[in-house]
């Protein structure tokens, strides 16, 4: 049976990772991939290496413009990754929330209308809210949530609402839905001029006199390479258990300060690292660390690329 797969957000960081993964593996002759983009011609011109397969079709559409969506087509699977986490901060909190919720509603309606049987949502680890200092890794059943009275949590609140929409459509229409709660990533397609600390450090290592840490360097983070991200997402689209949510990320902890030094050591050993703030002595620090035991146990997924390899890969691509 032919698989007809629709990918939203296909030209963003997640989408490009998925396209590179599929092209490197070879797209099965029984699989066709439709990629939604607001400006597919511009994307194909900028990334000709991602427009080389006749199994990939680019479609001009906007997830918030219902009339632009391919309602007259049929699909078997839909992977919804079209939320702007890269340049999303340019939007107001209300715009970010609406983009997520309206876009997800439209794509779920499209899923039902086009006969797709499976839907994968890329959600966020932000749905758990602040991670307690005594919780080393967040499991999928952690009941935390971001504060409702803070506009700054609009992205995470939108993702929570999107997950609930999946549950509603699963109940109403019998749709198979899977949720991927994504944490932090690195890789050749990561923008180095956005709000991602690891991207900023790589940019500084290549282009600045010093690598600058804006805070005190104590927050704990983990980073999964984008090729592992893509492999995990593709596996969950096809094999993820209906109705389940999975954390997607690395369990290798590193402080932001140590990360800056690691980037320095790998890319620009002679440069210095500047940490702008002194550590607080309260003993409290930010953690954003997932437990990935569930996806490892149920689907045998492991990270294949180390953090060191991922940093070098990212830096090399920016130099070409």
Q: What CA dihedral angle connects 94, 99, 101 and 104, to 10 degrees?
A: 180
Looking at residue 193, its pLDDT comes to 87
pTM (two decimals): 0.95
Q: Over the stretch 16-43, which tens digit does the pLDDT of each residue have?
A: 999 999 999 888 888 999 999 999 999 9
pLDDT band at residue 105 under the 50/70/90 scheme = very high
* Alpha carbons 110 and 163: distance in angstroms, whole number: 16
Residue 305 in 3-state DSSP? coil
**Which tens digits make up the pLDDT trace of 295-318?**
999 999 999 999 999 999 999 987
pLDDT 10s digits, 50-61: 988 888 999 999
User: Is the torsion defined by CA of 35, 25, 241, 310 positive or negative?
Assistant: negative
pLDDT of residue 284: 64
Q: Return the H-helix or E-strand segment holding 104.
A: helix 93-113
Type and span of the H or E element at 163: helix 154-173
Q: How far apart are CA 129 and CA 131, in angstroms?
A: 6
Residue 285 has pLDDT above 90, yes or no: no
| Domains of the chain and any CATH numbers | 3-187+223-250+289-304 (3.40.50.720)
């Amino acid at each position: 049976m032919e698989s007809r797969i629709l990918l939203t957000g296909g030209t963003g960081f997640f989408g490009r990772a998925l396209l590179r993964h599929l092209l490197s593996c070879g797209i099965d002759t029984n699989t066709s991939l439709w990629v939604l983009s607001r400006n597919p011609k511009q994307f194909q011109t900028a990334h000709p290496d991602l427009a080389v397969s006749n199994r990939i079709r680019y479609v001009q559409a906007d997830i918030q413009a219902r009339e632009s969506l391919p309602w007259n087509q049929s699909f078997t699977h839909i992977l919804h990754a079209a939320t702007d986490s890269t340049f999303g901060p340019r939007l107001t909190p209300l715009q970010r929330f609406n983009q997520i919720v309206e876009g997800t509603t439209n794509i779920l309606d499209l899923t039902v209308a086009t006969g797709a049987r499976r839907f994968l949502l890329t959600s966020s680890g932000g749905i758990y809210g602040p991670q307690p200092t005594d919780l080393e890794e967040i499991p999928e059943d952690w009941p935390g949530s971001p504060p409702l009275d803070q506009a700054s949590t609009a992205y995470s609140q939108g993702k929570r609402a999107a997950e609930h929409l999946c549950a509603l459509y699963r109940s109403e229409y019998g749709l198979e839905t899977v949720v991927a709660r994504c944490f932090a990533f690195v890789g050749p397609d990561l923008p180095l001029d956005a709000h991602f600390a690891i991207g900023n450090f790589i940019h500084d290592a290549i282009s600045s006199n010093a690598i600058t840490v804006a805070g005190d360097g104590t927050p704990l983070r983990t980073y999964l390479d984008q090729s592992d991200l893509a492999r995990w997402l593709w596996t969950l689209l096809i094999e993820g258990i209906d109705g389940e949510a999975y954390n997607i990320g690395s369990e290798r902890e590193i402080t932001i300060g140590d990360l800056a030094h690691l980037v320095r050591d790998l890319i620009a050993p002679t440069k210095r690292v500047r940490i702008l703030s002194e550590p607080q002595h309260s003993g409290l620090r930010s953690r954003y660390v997932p437990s990935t035991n569930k996806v490892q146990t149920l689907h045998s997924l492991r990270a294949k690329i180390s953090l060191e390899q991922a940093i070098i890969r990212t830096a090399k691509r920016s130099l070409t």
